[in-house]
Chains A and B, each alone.
Chain A
Amino acid sequence: MKAQKKFVIGSAIIVATLLALAYVGYTQSKTYYHTISELSTLSAPALHQRMRVSGNVRTGSIEHRDGRVNFVLEEQGKALPVSYVGTDPLPDTFRDGAQALVEGRLQPDGGFVAEQVQAKCASKYEASPNSTPGAPTQPNQPPGQSMNEASGSLSGKG
């Protein structure tokens, strides 16, 4: 019985240590995911958190200015002006109408400053004209394969 008690104490120490590490890792890397329409309903503290927002790039809205790339994300009629300040080149899939996921912070003026942009070509998995009328619109991905490829990921290392 004594050995079992020791084992339980040892396990408790290990588990407690891991939980503490997990908590630290969680606070360092947690990222909120919001839709554009949710942004207006967020409370003050939630507005300052690092977050991810996704939407479609408004056609014609992409402009390069002073080392930044500005564009507008749209989702269900709501728009969000985004300014990309990262150093990596934007993925090829990032273009008018593409589905994009931006990560960064919301500014007091309602704009969004993104440090990372991922994009997926909206038409990529849709049946092209010479393709199948009833083809399934799904990514051709087998399991076990990294998802990064489906997007032009800029920040695989995250």
Chain B
Amino acid sequence: MDIFGSFALLLALGAAVYAFGAGIAGIVTRQPLLTKTARNAGMTVFGLVTLAVASLEYFFFTDNFSLAYVSAHSNHALPGFYKFAALWAGQEGSLLFWTWLLSIYAFWALFLNRKKHPELMPYVGVTLAGVQIFFLTLNNFVTNPFRVLGAADASGAMHVARLSDGSGLNPLLQYYEMVIHPPILYLGYTGFTVPFAFAMAALLGRYPGEKWIHITRRWTMVAWCFQTVGILLGAHWAYAVLGWGGYWAWDPVENAALLPWITGTAFLHSVMMQEKRGMMKVWNVWLVFVTFMLCILGTSLTRTGVVSSVHAFAESSIGGWFFTFLGIILLVCLAAWFKNRDYLRSDNQLDSLVSRESSFLFNNLILLAACFAVLWGTLFPVLSEAVTGAKISVGPPFFNKVNVPIALFLLFLTGVGPLLAWRKTSADALRRNFAWPLLGGVVAGAVAFAFGFREFYPLICLILSVFVTLTILAEFYRGARVIASRDSTNILTAIGELTMRNTRRYGGYVVHFGMVLIFIGISGSAFNRDIQKEMNIGDTISIGPYTILCQNFDQPSTDVYTSDRATLEVLRNNKSEMLLYPEHRVYLASQVPETEVAIESTPLRDLYVVYAGRSPETGRPVIHAYLNPLVKWIWFGGIVVVLGTGLALFPNRSAALVLRPASERAWGESVAPQTAPASSPIRRSEGHD
């Protein structure tokens, strides 16, 4: 059976190579048949990789421990959904999974556009196939997940060895988010390949106009949304499982996922400049190139141990492959851009500093600055060693010093940008749009200050959050009022109608609001408190409004792990609120320690309690309690961001479709009958779309 999976992978590589070669030949010779076979081969890759993935899953579910990968990441006792998730628990499987998700995206991109854009799609197919060739080469020849265990018998001949049981899944991975976090993050990483392929295709084929941006708009949003959710799930996982009281440590793996998210965010905004005004063409092409390269870099950073520390991943032979691939991508991007740079000439120039264009430019400038700072900080040990010979690492103070002001400036732009007119905004319009929200923000800040809220950055964050929220509400209200008075409906119906007429714009506002919630949640970390204490039964710790009373210690060990557990009663105003059971386990088979954090989460604050271990001096248990304000807002904001993105993906109910020729309808847009006139009073020149 392992032959089956290996064979499917090998065939997939063959199909990708054919799609690449025949695709180029088709472009050169203009033979439609060649182009067609190349496209079909590209779509076949998906089927073949699917077979390989199915075959590996089959081995997991049938406990086939003759496969090295299965025996290293599973065992008989592992619950079914973890066996399923063990597919992406290690390097070989996770790279196969990467390839598979990429092949899904590639399949849909080729399939949905099979009868459209005949000038563009051959280039898209070739670009996608090129990326697939790289990953399939790794899957086949470098980190093959179907490697069979061998054992030599007495005569020295090799036989297939089959173990009685596998070594099981790392206990830290045995958490329900393990099943969803990696796939979602990977869907983000791989998803940016599609806009990359279309951008490359448009550049190489000198495809007219802004069409590639229209075509890939939804693809980019989908990838961005997955990346956002993937990062937040990772943060939540770290928070709930690792037991150090935080959700973000600026370590290289986290940064690796953040980098493409930052450039992807910049791209989502700056494409509007190109759609509306024909500006920033070079910039957009390079943003999507860089985003894709950062996705590849992120994928490799987590695997190659380039950024080493005690918790770096094992050094493996795979790094060289990735850096060669990155080098090739960079060269191809540079060559494609250099050859066709005249095609990217800008149609317009910046007219005024107080304009939508300029807000987008500043947005992009500081997002790029953030990206650069994070990249620099992440790679600093490598760079400093290469330049000075001394290995120097930088810690959270570096990242926070740079990124907190950037984040606040972005928050400010979130409020200001959408309400500025294209080209130039009059002073009158500024007053009309911003007077009340700004007043609201300042009043909120003043009230907070009067109540003793003195931390500088959180105070700014509060003012800006109120300001941005009010501008968003005002936008909904202004538009809905027009509809409500015309159709004589109530304001809530009108808001729904308004949103569905321009989902991209109003969905975007919802995303912005979600980001405001996340910012508020993050600013809560300025007020984090923690206390650590050796405790005996009857001892108490006071933290914030809570008093923690130690009731009992026990050792609920099982045959899988040894455990130390505390039973803590949480009191508030001398009234018992709840019992918490922080626990510390050491898994016997792997000797991996694991912390079972006890978290009591409310919208205002999390009480986060860890059984930290035993004091080296006295042998008594040490309890570490954290009070983390507003953490829940981050997770809730993430949900709002997803809902907003989902809304923005919806086709508009009317009007907007008319603005584009039917042939350009993007993926997923329905062919809804046009029930309303093309122009509506809601559509103003400032609109996103």
Q: How far is the CB of B270 from chain A (nearest CB, A)?
A: 14
Question: Which residue of A has the minimal Cβ distance to B315?
Answer: A138
Q: Which residues of the other chain, A, contact B369 by a CB distance below 8 angstroms?
A: 14-15, 18
A58 within 8 A of B: no
**Bound complex: CA of A133 vs CA of B166, how far in Å?**
12
Q: How far is the CB of B280 from chain A (nearest CB, A)?
A: 13
Question: Which residue of B has the minimal Cβ distance to A46?
Answer: B390
A12-44 vs B, Cβ < 8 Å mask (1 yes, 0 no)? 001101100110111011111110000000000
B190-202 vs A, Cβ < 8 Å mask (1 yes, 0 no)? 0000000000000
Pick the contact of B311 from A10, A25, A88, A153 — CB < 8 Å? A153
**Bound complex: CA of A4 vs CA of B92, how far in Å?**
50
B72 touches A144 (CB 8 A): no
Q: A136-B90, A156-B245 are in contact. Are A148 and B613 (CB under 8 A)?
A: no
Count contacts on A: residues with CB < 8 A to the other chain. 76
Q: How far is the CB of B645 from chain A (nearest CB, A)?
A: 19
**Bound complex: CA of A61 vs CA of B653, how far in Å?**
73
B452-472 vs A, Cβ < 8 Å mask (1 yes, 0 no)? 000000000000000000000
A76 within 8 A of B: no
Q: Which residues of the other chain, A, contact B71 by a CB distance below 8 angstroms?
A: 131-132, 135
Q: Which residues of the other chain, B, contact A143 by a CB distance below 8 angstroms?
A: 94, 182, 185, 253, 256-257, 298-299, 301-303
**Bound complex: CA of A87 vs CA of B254, how far in Å?**
27
B426 within 8 A of A: no
Q: Which residues of the other chain, A, contact B246 by a CB distance below 8 angstroms?
A: 156-157
B146-174 vs A, Cβ < 8 Å mask (1 yes, 0 no)? 01011100000000010111110110110
Pick the contact of B73 from A22, A140, A145, A151 — CB < 8 Å? A140
* Residue among A26, A101, A132, A145 having the largest count of chain B Cβ atoms under 10 Å: A145
Q: Which residues of the other chain, B, contact A132 by a CB distance below 8 angstroms?
A: 68, 71-72, 149, 163, 167
Q: A143-B302, A144-B257, A156-B244 are in contact. Are A135 and B167 (CB under 8 A)?
A: yes
Pick the contact of A118 from B165, B170, B310 — CB < 8 Å? B310
Q: Which of A69-109 contact B (CB under 8 A)?
A: 69, 87-93, 99-101
Q: Which residues of the other chain, A, contact B164 by a CB distance below 8 angstroms?
A: 130
A22 touches B402 (CB 8 A): yes
* Residue among A46, A93, A132, A136 having the largest count of chain B Cβ atoms under 10 Å: A132
Q: How far is the CB of A33 from chain B (nearest CB, A)?
A: 4
**Bound complex: CA of A100 vs CA of B309, how far in Å?**
10
A113-154 vs B, Cβ < 8 Å mask (1 yes, 0 no)? 000001111011101101111111111111111111111110
Question: Which residue of B has the minimal Cβ distance to A17?
Answer: B405
**Bound complex: CA of A32 vs CA of B393, how far in Å?**
6
B282 within 8 A of A: no
Q: Which of B340-394 contact A (CB under 8 A)?
A: 349-353, 355, 358, 361-362, 365-366, 369, 373, 376, 381, 390-394
Q: How far is the CB of A57 from chain B (nearest CB, A)?
A: 12
Pick the contact of A3 from B244, B352, B393, B622 — CB < 8 Å? B352
A59 within 8 A of B: no
Q: Which residues of the other chain, A, contact B584 by a CB distance below 8 angstroms?
A: 92
Q: How far is the CB of A126 from chain B (nearest CB, A)?
A: 10
B397 touches A28 (CB 8 A): yes
Q: How many A-B residue pairs have CB under 8 A?
A: 262
**Bound complex: CA of A121 vs CA of B170, how far in Å?**
14
B312 within 8 A of A: yes
Question: Which residue of B has the minimal Cβ distance to A135?
Answer: B72
A67 within 8 A of B: yes
B394 touches A139 (CB 8 A): no
Pick the contact of B393 from A17, A31, A128, A146 — CB < 8 Å? A31
Q: Which of B290-305 contact A (CB under 8 A)?
A: 298-299, 301-303
Question: Which residue of B has the minimal Cβ distance to A156?
Answer: B244
A64 within 8 A of B: yes
A101 touches B309 (CB 8 A): yes
Closest 6 CB pairs of A and B: A156-B244, A25-B401, A143-B302, A138-B314, A25-B398, A89-B613
Q: A121-B591, A131-B163, A146-B249 are in contact. List 8 more A-B contacts (CB 8 A).
A: A10-B362, A101-B309, A101-B310, A119-B310, A136-B92, A136-B314, A144-B254, A150-B313
21 contacts between A and B (CB under 8 A): A3-B351, A10-B353, A22-B401, A29-B394, A29-B396, A30-B392, A30-B398, A32-B390, A33-B390, A89-B615, A125-B314, A127-B167, A132-B72, A133-B161, A138-B90, A139-B170, A139-B314, A144-B257, A147-B251, A156-B242, A156-B244
